[in-house]
């Protein structure tokens, strides 16, 4: 059973608009949560990493939030650009230096002009 669930599965937004992606996890124990961006035909690239004590982390127009109590995270994309079209993957690490990560299936974002 996948311990990391992402929603929606896909979404389409107009260029310049904002959007929010959701990630719910049941992984326990929990060390950190990561968001990755994966362009079509490429490997995932790290956007943010948050430990259980962090509530928010930004990387340019990307802002991730974390609620460790409810085991929920979100990724907010501000003023979307065509280059934001990609799959966004939520990844949970169970404990420090444990590399057996749990990956969500991803949310596919399509930005249209």
Partner 1 sequence: NAGVTQTPKFQVLKTGQSMTLQCAQDMNHEYMSWYRQDPGMGLRLIHYSVGAGITDQGEVPNGYNVSRSTTEDFPLRLLSAAPSQTSVYFCASHPGGRNEKLFFGSGTQLSVL
Which positions touch partner 1 (CB under 8 A)? 2, 4, 31-32, 34, 41-46, 49, 51, 89, 96-97, 99-106
CB-nearer residue toward partner 1: 60 or 96: 96
Tokens 């950190």 belong to residue: 32
CA 88 to the chain's CA centroid:
5
CB-nearer residue toward partner 1: 59 or 72: 59
Least CB distance to partner 1 at residue 18 (A): 25
CB-nearer residue toward partner 1: 18 or 56: 56
Least CB distance to partner 1 at residue 17 (A): 26
Least CB distance to partner 1 at residue 11 (A): 16
Least CB distance to partner 1 at residue 108 (A): 11
Q: Who's near 111: CB < 8 A, 6+ residues apart?
A: 12, 13, 14, 15, 80, 81, 82, 83, 84, 85
CB-nearer residue toward partner 1: 51 or 78: 51
Strand intervals (E) in the chain? 4-7, 10-14, 19-25, 32-38, 45-51, 56-59, 62-67, 72-77, 86-93, 102-103, 107-112
């Amino acid at each position: 059973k996948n311990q990391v669930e992402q929603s929606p599965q896909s979404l389409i937004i107009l260029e310049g608009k904002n959007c929010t992606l959701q990630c719910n996890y049941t992984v326990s124990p929990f060390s950190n949560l990561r968001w990755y961006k994966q362009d079509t035909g490429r490997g995932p690239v790290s956007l943010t990493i948050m430990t259980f004590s962090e509530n928010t982390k930004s990387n340019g127009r990307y802002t991730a939030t974390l609620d460790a109590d409810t085991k929920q995270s979100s990724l907010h994309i501000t003023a979307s650009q065509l280059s934001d079209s990609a799959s966004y993957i939520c990844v949970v690490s169970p404990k420090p230096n444990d590399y057996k990560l749990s990956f969500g299936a991803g949310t596919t974002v399509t930005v249209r002009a």
